[in-house]
Amino acid sequence: MAHNLPELVIQHSTLVQEEDGFLYRDLNKNGRLDLYEDPRQPIEARVSDLLGQMTLEEKAGTLFIHGTAVAEDGSIEAAPTAGGPAAGLLAKAQMTAHKMNHFNLWEVPGTEALASWSNTIQRFAEETRLGIPLTIASDPRNHFEESIYQLRAKDFSLWPSTLGLAAIGDPDLVRQFVDAIRQEYLAVGIRLALHPQIDLATEPRWPRINGTFGEDAQLSATLGRAYIEAFQGQTLGPHSVACMTKHFPGGGPQKEGLDPHFEFQQGQIYPGDNFDYHLIPFAAAIDAGTAAIMPYYGVPVDQTAENVAMSYNKAIITGLLREKYRYDGVICTDWGLVTDFVFPGTDVVWPARAWGVEHLSEIERVQKLLEAGIDQFGGENCSHHVLELVQQGTIAEERINQSVRRLLRLKFQLGLFDNPFLDPAQVDQIFDRPAVLAAAQAAQSRAMTLLKNEGGILPLRGRPRVYVQNMDATAVSPYADLVADPAAADLAILRLQTPWYPVETRNFFAQSFHHGDLDFTGEEKEAILQLLAAVPTIVVIGLDRPAVLPEISAAAQGLLAEYGASDEAVLNVIFGQVPPEGRLPFELPSSMTAVRAQKTDLPHDSEDPLYPFGFGLSY
């Protein structure tokens, strides 16, 4: 209703009128007819009307989604910061140069500035020839842990990782989590979630395990369904955030765990002949109505007629996803499949993830992706290649229309054409709500998994003398008396993270991925074991991958796993204020020998695991 809309809409539309309870926006710029169709008309009719008015250049731009920076003051004019993206990757510049109307957010300022930016950039979009509103997307922002592909953001509530949600295993908690972050996304204009990630963690060395629900297909399917339904609702509408579920057909079985973001990847392998097992969560996601799906970078080695990356693979995109699963939503590639990237100020090249088709030119890659059946190019803005392919008759414009139709349909379903603007007052009402912050911290605690409790040392009672490592002393002081020497302590609390060992590469991004072996070694391991021998110790291990820690487990008196938790959340469990409810969402192998002997595509197949899938003690 018009009287419920922010004043910003009225100020920046040529005409706003209300009739029979419906909002109309009549722009009539340059003698055009009203481009904002009567909302009472079927969406397909509105899509067809708009599609018929679009130029080929505008259609081509719609097929691309790329990142954008957001200035600290929320403006759309600000110059990029040092070390940040080039000016050409600001949203306004890409809209002007490439006629784009989809963007994903990178690092962002506070939520007030982000909401201001959203309104300003949508106002700029309204002034373009057809006034097509933007679809703003984001990777996850609401997990306590921080990684290269899960963004921490000021003001957003911080919950455990999806592994932590899987450890609790409660679909209702997933719905509570998603409902809270859905409201936060809506308050700042994010309408497309580049998640959930429902790959299966069957290769324990894979760096992206922390974004999954673990290694079990049925658990991932159940929680993934709850996640999508809570974000989108029964039907997509103005209160929905659309989900781009990833990474079809499951990115977990990477050979030696080497991630296909990078050229040192060795493909996805299926030695257990278990390809279909990885599809189980995606079948549930499709049944739940996920608005979009993102294939992964990996090559499904010897699973189809050609060994090319998923998005280039017609058997995967058209044969499997479109035809077998009858999926008619948006299919968007993962980011950067067409163009190489040169790190600014260096000669370091990050090759396009065109695995199996590296020999093709950029325009040939675009052609092959379209022929495979994708709708949208992630992390790219090379719309000129689409223009050339159509103009030279290589790709029919009707093929482009099919994908543009899907992308416009989603905008209409989300209500963006009826009102893309925000009420800035919602920021203060939605963020920093005590009930949400309390629920988020409680979930961090509840997800913790008690693996060992020798002599019933946990929960701690009274006010012991405690020596701590890798914890904030100010967080510990309300619970215990801190001592600086382990010899003076009643016990020690030691926080650790799953080991990882960077791949030797000049690629700065690759150096941040948690590749490599999972066990503690050398001086680090010796120092840990010396502490455990000196004083009764409670070890808290952060699991973003399945750590290998048999000697540490044997020497610790108490062992807890966490999946993204503040010191306070950890201490609340250690001191019995919140009982640990978590059950392992994957096995903890007994050795790296066992890890290497596992079959990449099989769950629960580690020989004699230190702790099996689903293990967890209680107080």
88 and 210 part of one domain: yes
Paired tokens of 521 = 């070694």
466 and 330 part of one domain: no
Instruction: Please report whether residue 412 resides in a domain.
Output: no
Residue 264 CB burial class (10 angstroms; 0-12, 13-18, ≥19): middle
175 and 287 part of one domain: yes
pLDDT band at residue 89 under the 50/70/90 scheme: confident
Q: Which of 139, 155, 259, 334 is catalytic?
A: 334
Cβ atoms 422, 188 nearer than 8 A:
yes
pLDDT single digits (tens) 209-262: 999 999 999 999 999 999 999 999 999 999 999 999 999 999 999 999 999 999
Kindly tell me if the per-residue pLDDT of 115 is higher than 50.
Answer: yes
Look at residue 78 in the predicted model and tell me its pLDDT: 63
366 and 499 part of one domain: no
* Section 325-330 average pLDDT: 98
Look at residue 79 in the predicted model and tell me its pLDDT: 55
Instruction: Please report whether residue 128 resides in a domain.
Output: yes
Paired tokens of 113 = 């500035």
Paired tokens of 549 = 């820690």
The CATH number for 131's domain is 3.20.20.300
Look at residue 84 in the predicted model and tell me its pLDDT: 54
Instruction: Please report whether residue 400 resides in a domain.
Output: no
Highest averaged pLDDT of the listed ranges 66-80, 149-163, 386-400 = 386-400
* Section 12-35 average pLDDT: 36
State the alpha helices, DSSP H only, in 254-396: 280-287, 314, 362-372, 383-391
194 and 285 part of one domain: yes
* Section 130-158 average pLDDT: 85
* Section 303-317 average pLDDT: 98
Kindly tell me if the per-residue pLDDT of 3 is higher than 60.
Answer: no
Instruction: Please report whether residue 192 resides in a domain.
Output: yes
204 and 303 part of one domain: yes
pLDDT single digits (tens) 528-576: 999 999 999 999 999 999 999 999 999 999 999 999 999 999 999 999 9
Find the domain containing 560 and state its range.
Answer: 434-597
Number of domains observed in the structure of the chain:
2
pLDDT band at residue 22 under the 50/70/90 scheme: very low
Residue 477 CB burial class (10 angstroms; 0-12, 13-18, ≥19): exposed
pLDDT band at residue 107 under the 50/70/90 scheme: confident
| Identity of the residue numbered 113 | A
Look at residue 189 in the predicted model and tell me its pLDDT: 98
Q: In this predicted structure, which of 62-76, 177-191, 558-572 has the lowest mean pLDDT?
A: 62-76
User: Of 385, 355, 397, nearest to 265 (Cα)?
Assistant: 355
Look at residue 130 in the predicted model and tell me its pLDDT: 97
Instruction: Please report whether residue 44 resides in a domain.
Output: no
Query: Is 334 among the catalytic positions?
Result: yes
460 and 358 part of one domain: no
Kindly tell me if the per-residue pLDDT of 31 is higher than 60.
Answer: no
Look at residue 150 in the predicted model and tell me its pLDDT: 61
Cβ atoms 539, 496 nearer than 8 A:
yes
Look at residue 41 in the predicted model and tell me its pLDDT: 79
| Identity of the residue numbered 219 | L
Write down which residue in 381, 396, 412 finishes a domain: 381
User: pTM for the complete prediction?
Assistant: 0.93
CA-based end-to-end distance of the chain:
53
* Section 20-38 average pLDDT: 39
Kindly tell me if the per-residue pLDDT of 365 is higher than 80.
Answer: yes
140 and 228 part of one domain: yes
What residues contact residue 177 under an 8 Å CB cut-off, 6+ apart? Answer: 142, 159, 165, 230, 440, 443
Look at residue 349 in the predicted model and tell me its pLDDT: 95
375 and 466 part of one domain: no
The CATH number for 449's domain is 3.40.50.1700
Instruction: Please report whether residue 422 resides in a domain.
Output: no
Instruction: Please report whether residue 35 resides in a domain.
Output: no
Cβ atoms 209, 543 nearer than 8 A:
no
Instruction: Please report whether residue 506 resides in a domain.
Output: yes
Kindly tell me if the per-residue pLDDT of 149 is higher than 70.
Answer: no
470 and 363 part of one domain: no
Stronger pLDDT, 79 or 306, i.e. the higher one = 306
Look at residue 145 in the predicted model and tell me its pLDDT: 77
319 and 463 part of one domain: no
pLDDT single digits (tens) 410-445: 999 999 999 999 999 999 999 999 999 999 999 999
518 and 452 part of one domain: yes
Look at residue 196 in the predicted model and tell me its pLDDT: 98
pLDDT band at residue 85 under the 50/70/90 scheme: low
Residue 544 CB burial class (10 angstroms; 0-12, 13-18, ≥19): buried
pLDDT mean across residues, the chain: 92
| Identity of the residue numbered 288 | A
Q: How far is CA 102 from CA 65, 122, 295, in A?
A: 5, 11, 18
